[in-house]
Chain A
Amino acid sequence: MSASEEVWILGINMTKFGKHPDLDAVDLAANAVIAALADGGVTMADIGVVAAGNLLGGGAASGQNILKQVGQTGVPIYNVSNACATGATAIRTVVMAIRAGEVDMGLAIGVEKLSGVGLLGAQGNTGSGAWEAKGRYGAVGPIDGRIGTAAMPGVFAQVGMEYLHAYGQTDVSVFAKISEKNHQHSTLNPLAAYSKAMTYDQIVNDVMISYPNTRSMCSANCDGAAAAVLVSGSKLKTLSLEQKRRAVKISASVLTSDPYQEASQVLPDVNTLTKNAAKIAYEQAGVGPQDLDLVELHDCFATAELVHYDNLGLCAPGDAVAFFESGAPWRNGSTPVNVSGGLQSKGHPISATGIANVWEICHHLRGEAGDRQIEGAKVGLAHVIGLGSACGVHVLEK
């Protein structure tokens, strides 16, 4: 990092992702917070700032309401909202507070209740009456389905198809193969919402949602929470040997938005801001993509994972299909990607995702990942994209 103060992860936790009918969002968040504090060997009394994210709870799971259950200390709380990058934004907010020197310890929280929620982004096409021009496009009726699609599976399908077209490829089978990898990886993750292997044939023959994305190639809507306790390097020096031993260094913490590009207001651009974030992150951390022992990237759809191989520099420009076909992103490959099972199988409780990805990396760097441990992992990268767009990249080192 460019600032002199280092920031470390002292404690971190994710809940089991899946269906939690008996727990509300505050319960889920509280469980993650309590476990993250215990993991770091600290209490709410040590926390100087909180950043909390929850998109679909309508304010019920604000940071304030979570603290009312775990410790109402009166510290400043930033309720953050950045689409699917909300969790990473919460971490980034705490990192900035620590680097600014205002606090030496802070808490980032992300939680979502998403089980049973349907298609995200879809606006539908109901209602009528009189044609009356409204909004920034002067549309006389709802445009979803009449001028392209607003639903996420179709938006991200186009992202992947655009990549194939840009590099003169037509074979869409790579997308289902990516999904096959992530579902296979999830079999080793007890916290994944789905931990069942699926064959290529099962995946391509599943219910079609938005070609080429079938249901099993889409991220799983589920419930879940994650929380992280961050500490300054100077404060960490005063803590116990055990706390120092398990602390994970945040070598880079980056948040970008989508800069203007031709077409970026027609189809959300998830590429340029990821490339920009990756470049800054590698510079901050002083590591390159070849140094990464594992990567958790934002595979909200199989079509998204492909483009981020390229955007994060895991392969040469245009080589994402060849990179996948080489076996590199499988857990026994040269750059394991989404060994957690990814959003397609581990699940995607939106605001929790950007912290859960960091948890996964920390778990491996601490050597605590059990059956799915990537042996000797020293450096990892966690990436999320929020459509609209926001990109969070964190590089973690042990």
Chain B
Amino acid sequence: MTNTAEMKQVPFVGYLKLTPGDPHLVAHECRACGARFFDRRNLCARCFAANFDEVRVATQGTLRSFTIVSFAGPGVDVPFVAGLIDCDGTTVRGNIINCAPTADAVTLGMPVQLATYSVGVDQNGVEAINYGFEPVQQESAQ
């Protein structure tokens, strides 16, 4: 199938905003206590309040924990690096991308930044864009 129209893009998850030149994550922040959540909310898990604001999450962070997955469910490409990123006090789950999946290349506490990539194009010609975190180049880290 040829696709002549400009390709439509969708974020892989609702909390990824594909602002041109400025992709970033957003969280639901409890207006009462400041707790942040990435999912659709009923009430705040911490203080039970009902009102949330959508807030921007820092795109730079440090790697708080990780694992290198060598064995996964069907259809999951391995190896890949799964991690927890501390983005200025908000912990984000994501893969470490643009980096060798080895214990030499990935280290606890290393600085990382948000990056996006294409997951693929569906039958309707829509491209899904996902996020990951990539190591910050040494020069810019200093």
Q: Could you list which residues of chain A lie within 8 angstroms of chain B, going by C-beta atoms?
A: 119, 122-131, 133, 136-151, 153-154, 157-159, 161-162, 164-165, 170, 172, 207-213, 260, 262-263, 265-267
Contact = CB atoms under 8 A, between A and B. Distances in A.
Given A119-B71, A145-B76, A210-B69, 6 more contacts: A139-B12, A147-B130, A148-B82, A153-B67, A153-B71, A209-B70
Contacts, number: 172
Nearest to A145: B76
Contacts of B84: 148, 158, 162, 263, 266-267
A267 B93 contact: yes
B67 A157 contact: yes
B84 to A, nearest CB: 6
A1 B131 CA distance: 50
A345 to B, nearest CB: 19
Contacts of A139: 12-14
Contacts of A157: 67
A161 B40 contact: no
B91 A266 contact: yes
6 contacts: A119-B72, A124-B75, A145-B80, A165-B109, A265-B37, A266-B92
Instruction: Across the A-B interface, give the 10 residue pairs with the lowest CB-CB distance, nearest first.
Output: A138-B14, A122-B73, A124-B73, A145-B76, A263-B91, A157-B67, A125-B75, A162-B65, A211-B68, A136-B39
B123 A211 contact: no
Given A131-B126, A267-B91, A141 B69 contact: no
Contacts of A140: 10-13, 128
A301 to B, nearest CB: 10
B107 to A, nearest CB: 7
A119 B73 CA distance: 7
Given A140-B12, A170-B108, A266-B84, A147 B122 contact: no
Main secondary structure of the interface of A (DSSP, over half): loop
Nearest to A136: B39
A122 B40 contact: no
Interface in B107-121: 107-109, 119-120
Contacts of B13: 137-140, 143, 147
Contacts of A129: 122-123
Contact of A165 (B36, B39, B95, B108): B108
Interface in B92-142: 92-95, 103, 107-109, 119-120, 122-124, 126, 128, 130-131
